[in-house]
């Protein structure tokens, strides 16, 4: 095995998307020496870089802010928190204005002569965030997937280890504090830009005893042309949906009618679409706003405004859901000392409750939570003092790295086979989208078996460890997801149950989850500022 490369830093940021880059930038600006380790390439990794996003940027006009906060409280099942919404609106306003004023992003100018700061094109935003991070003195390690956290004797998180996959050798970072900004989990569905988002951070967090929250809010599916990757559901608000013979598909819509599409696809019927509700001005504007939306069509020779094309639904898991690592403080600390979480790796229930955070809310959350986690981690590392790097470190990784069974025992399968087994339980619409207690119970029991098998027997070393850990992360995320979905015996936010269609006032609370060999859930007491409405 090649020699391990060692680094020491005040703050280690794991991830390379918006939350990771804001965390690295603001940790560095707070005086910390920062290493950012990304599984892929900081600047192209993650769901933002590949796409583009609206941003929850609202002028600090009280009436506008009030309307912004009120607009989705009911959709989110009244699980969001007004105090957090206000904080995120404030921080997002500051960060977006900073992008504009430091000429770090070329915002367009609207018809009234003012810059439009309510959206970002992914490639441009992330290319420039990388430059800003580098200029702040952050050491960026690309193609350096972290495979496990390292803990100090008192259980606090004190670094991480992983693989520099293009260089072909392992690495280790001793750090005062670690920020997990690894994105959500979309189960390798190939929804646009999400295949780097395999829920690794949630696995690593759980291995050191952190908790998750809102994992039942994980059944987002985005619309894409059949056999392609570009899930830009917003533009399908202009769509008319139809069946194979050209008849209108009754009740199908991008918002509030996606289950009709899912049912047709489940029945083996094709669903067709045409964006014929967009007028000429809207068509031109769509092309300028999101050129990547048209890549697919231009390459297929389809005019989406006049031609009918078949569509599919791709799982977006917690990337467009709201579940993730539970946040335990305003600085985005977790329940484990030295460990912080930001972006889609963290729960977004604080601002979205139980309804998809996809698009503008997730973008606002990523930059706000990134800023707070970066500063929080920098402050924590500073308080530790110079002794931080002399701590004795223990590796926290288990499944896929350190199997429990004696060598030569029942084989744990290989990573690829485990991923396929998990996908069979989480991608089908009849299991995950149109959820029913019976289906959830059956799927969970298969997933529990898959976990037991991989925990006992899967062992990978070197760069193979990356795939093994992804397989373990997908399995763990799937189990928290379905265990939480079973715990919520009602329909709230996006967590709808066919066998419990109504909302139950007695379940007006969030659900925490965690554990690996034994998965658990428990209701969380509501805070004073969670939406009282």
Partner 1 sequence: MIELVSAERCVACDRCIRVCPTDVFERGADGVPVIARQDDCQTCFQCEANCPADALFVAPYTHPQPQDPAVRDERRLADAGLLGSYRAQIGWGRGRTPGALRAIGPALGPAAQATPITS
256 or 385: CB nearest partner 1:
256
User: From the CB of 103, what's the least distance to partner 1, in Å?
Assistant: 12
Give me the least distance between CB of 406 and partner 1, in Å please: 33
How many residues in the chain? 533
Distance, in Å, from the CA atom of 352 to the CA atom of 73, rounded to the nearest integer, reads 7
List the x/- string, 272-311, binding to partner 1 by CB under 8 A: -----xx--xxx-xx-xxxxx-xxx-xxx-----------
Minimal distance, residue 10 CB to partner 1, in Å = 27
Instruction: Name residues contacting partner 1, limited to 51-80 (CB under 8 A).
Output: 52, 54, 71-72, 75
Q: Which is nearer to partner 1, 229 or 513 (CB)?
A: 229
Q: Pick between residue 40 and residue 403 the one whose CB is nearest to partner 1.
A: 40
Find tokens 């750090």 and name the residue: 175
The string over 400-413, giving b where at least 16 C-beta atoms fall within 10 Å of a residue's C-beta and e elsewhere, is: bbebeeeeeeeebb
DSSP strand pairing (169-180 vs 5-14): parallel
Binding residues for partner 1 restricted to 95-154, rule: CB under 8 A: 105-110, 116, 119-121, 123-125, 142-143
**49 near partner 1, judged by CB under 8 A:** yes
428 binds partner 1 (CB under 8 A): no
Residues 185-214 that bind partner 1 (CB under 8 A): 190, 192-196
| Closer residue to partner 1 in complex, CB, 122/514 | 122
116-121: long-range contacts at Cβ-Cβ below 8 A with a sequence spacing of 24 or more?
A: 117/55, 117/57, 118/54, 118/55, 118/57, 118/360, 119/52, 119/53, 119/54, 119/55, 119/289, 120/48, 120/52, 120/53, 120/55, 120/363, 121/52, 121/290
Tell me the site size for partner 1, rule CB under 8 A. Answer: 77
Cα–Cα distance, 446 to 274 (Å, whole number)? 39
In this structure, what token pair is assigned to residue 389? 């790097």
Q: How far is the CB of 285 from partner 1 (least distance, A)?
A: 4
Contacts of 180 (CB under 8 A, 6+ apart): 14, 15, 201, 204, 205, 325, 339, 340, 341, 342, 345, 346
Please give the torsion angle defined by the CA atoms of residues 14, 16, 22 and 25, in that order, rounded to the nearest 10 degrees. Answer: 80
CB-wise, 240 or 503, nearer to partner 1? Answer: 240
Q: Of 66, 258, 202, which Cα lies nearest the Cα of 484?
A: 202
Build a one-symbol-per-residue string for 9-48: x at contacts with partner 1 by CB under 8 A, - elsewhere: ------------------------------xxx-xxxx--
What part of residues 401-420 is at the interface with partner 1 (CB under 8 A)? none
Take residue 19 and report the two structure tokens written for it: 């939350």
Candidate residues 3, 255, 268, 506; the one interacting with partner 1 per rule CB under 8 A: 255
Minimum CB–partner distance for residue 443 and partner 1 (Å): 24
437 close to 486: Cβ distance less than 8 angstroms: yes
CB of 145 to partner 1, least distance (A): 9
Segment 217 to 236, residues that bind partner 1, using CB under 8 A: 220, 222, 225, 227-230, 233-235
Sole binder of partner 1 in the list 22, 309, 355, 380 (CB under 8 A): 355
The residue from 60, 246, 256, 501 that contacts partner 1 (CB under 8 A) is 256
Structure tokens at 32: 């910390």
Provide the minimum distance between the beta carbon of 118 and partner 1 in the complex, in angstroms, as a whole number: 9
Pick from 117, 320, 375, 431 the residue near partner 1 by CB under 8 A.
320
Our CB check for partner 1 shows the closer of 221 and 451 to be 221
Contact 202, 477 (CB under 8 A): yes
DSSP state at residue 95: H
Residue 190 DSSP symbol: -
Task: Pick the closer one to partner 1 by CB: 255 or 306.
Answer: 255
* Stretch 489-518 residues interacting with partner 1 (CB under 8 A): none
């Amino acid at each position: 095995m090649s020699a391990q490369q060692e680094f020491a830093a005040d703050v280690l940021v794991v991830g390379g998307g918006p939350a990771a880059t804001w965390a690295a930038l603001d940790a560095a600006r707070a005086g910390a020496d920062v290493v950012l380790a990304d599984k892929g390439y900081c600047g192209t990794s993650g769901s933002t870089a590949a796409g583009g996003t609206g941003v929850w940027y609202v002028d600090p006009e009280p009436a506008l802010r009030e309307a912004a906060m009120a607009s989705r409280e009911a959709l989110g099942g009244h699980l969001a928190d007004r105090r957090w919404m206000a904080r995120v609106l404030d921080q997002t306003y500051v960060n977006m204005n900073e992008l504009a004023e430091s000429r770090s992003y070329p915002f367009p100018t609207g018809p009234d002569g003012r810059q439009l700061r309510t959206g970002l094109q992914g490639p441009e935003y992330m290319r420039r965030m990388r430059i800003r991070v580098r200029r702040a003195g952050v050491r960026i390690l690309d193609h350096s997937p972290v495979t496990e956290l390292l803990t100090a004797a008192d259980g606090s998180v004190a670094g991480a280890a992983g693989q520099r996959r293009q260089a072909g050798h392992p690495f280790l970072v001793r750090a005062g504090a670690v920020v997990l900004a690894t994105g959500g989990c979309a189960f390798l569905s190939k929804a646009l830009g999400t295949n780097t988002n395999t829920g690794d951070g949630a696995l690593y967090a759980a291995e050191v005893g952190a908790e998750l929250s809102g994992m039942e809010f994980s059944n987002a599916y985005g619309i894409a042309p059949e056999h392609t990757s570009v899930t830009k559901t917003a533009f399908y608000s202009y769509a008319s949906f139809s069946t194979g013979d050209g008849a209108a598909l009754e009740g199908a819509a991008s918002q509030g009618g996606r289950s009709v599409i899912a049912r047709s696809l489940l029945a083996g019927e094709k669903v067709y679409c045409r964006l014929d509700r967009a007028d000429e001005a809207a068509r031109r504007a769509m092309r300028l706003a999101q050129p990547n939306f048209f890549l697919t069509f231009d390459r297929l020779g389809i005019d989406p405004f006049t031609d009918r094309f078949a569509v599919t639904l791709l799982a977006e898991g917690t990337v467009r859901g709201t579940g993730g690592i539970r946040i335990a403080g305003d600085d985005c600390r977790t329940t484990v000392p030295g460990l912080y979480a930001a972006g889609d790796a963290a729960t977004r229930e604080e601002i979205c409750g139980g309804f998809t955070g996809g698009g503008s809310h997730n973008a606002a959350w990523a930059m706000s939570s990134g800023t707070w986690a970066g500063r929080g981690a920098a402050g924590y590392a500073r308080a530790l003092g110079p002794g931080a790097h002399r701590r004795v470190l223990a590796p926290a990784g288990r499944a896929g790295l350190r199997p429990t069974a004696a060598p030569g025992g029942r084989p744990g399968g290989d990573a690829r086979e485990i991923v396929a087994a998990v996908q069979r339980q989480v991608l089908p619409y009849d299991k995950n989208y149109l959820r029913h207690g019976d289906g959830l119970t059956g799927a969970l029991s298969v997933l529990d078996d898959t976990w037991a098998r991989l925990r006992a027997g899967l062992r990978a070393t070197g760069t193979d460890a990356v795939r093994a850990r992804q397989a373990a992360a997908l399995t763990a995320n799937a189990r928290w997801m379905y265990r939480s979905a079973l715990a919520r015996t009602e329909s709230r936010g996006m967590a709808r149950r066919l066998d419990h269609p109504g909302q139950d006032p007695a379940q007006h609370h969030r659900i925490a989850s965690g554990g690996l060999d034994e998965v658990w859930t428990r209701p969380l007491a509501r805070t004073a500022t969670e939406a009282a409405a």
